[in-house]
Amino acid sequence: MNVDIYYAKVCGLCTEAIDFLHKRGITFTAYAIEYDADADEFVDSDNTREMYRRCGGPVDFVPQIFIGDRHIAGWRKLEPMIESGEIDKILPEGG
């Protein structure tokens, strides 16, 4: 099962999500999305366009996490899943 995360370097919650996956020993692919603070939008790139496609349209926050076909839209969706243990039911075991 593939685990993908779209993140921005300036995003602290993205770092939290990536750290969580690392600590769990999950193998994942991280896709960098650049954020233009002056324009207050993500910079157009292959990764940005692919993230929008997978999310079903433009989004204005990261991280965007995909575990197989399951989409977790941001840290605010991921954190309660971690706390409740729900994430353990959908993450691949042992990476």
Read off the pLDDT of residues 4-45 as tens digits, 9 standing for 90 and up: 999 999 999 999 999 999 999 999 999 999 999 999 999 999
Token pair belonging to 50: 């692919």
Domains in the chain, start-ordered, CATH in brackets?
3-90 (3.40.30.10)
DSSP string, 15-70: HHHHHHHHHTT---EEEE--EETTTTEEPP-HHHHHHHHHHTS--S---EEEETTE
Rounded Cα–Cα distance for residues 46 and 13 (Å): 22
Phi, psi at 13, each rounded to 5°: -70, -25
pLDDT, average across residues 42-71: 97
Global pTM reads 0.93
> What local confidence, expressed as pLDDT, does residue 94 receive?
55
Q: What percent of the chain has pLDDT over 90?
A: 92
For residue 4, the 8-state DSSP code is E
Rounded Cα–Cα distance for residues 13 and 60 (Å): 14
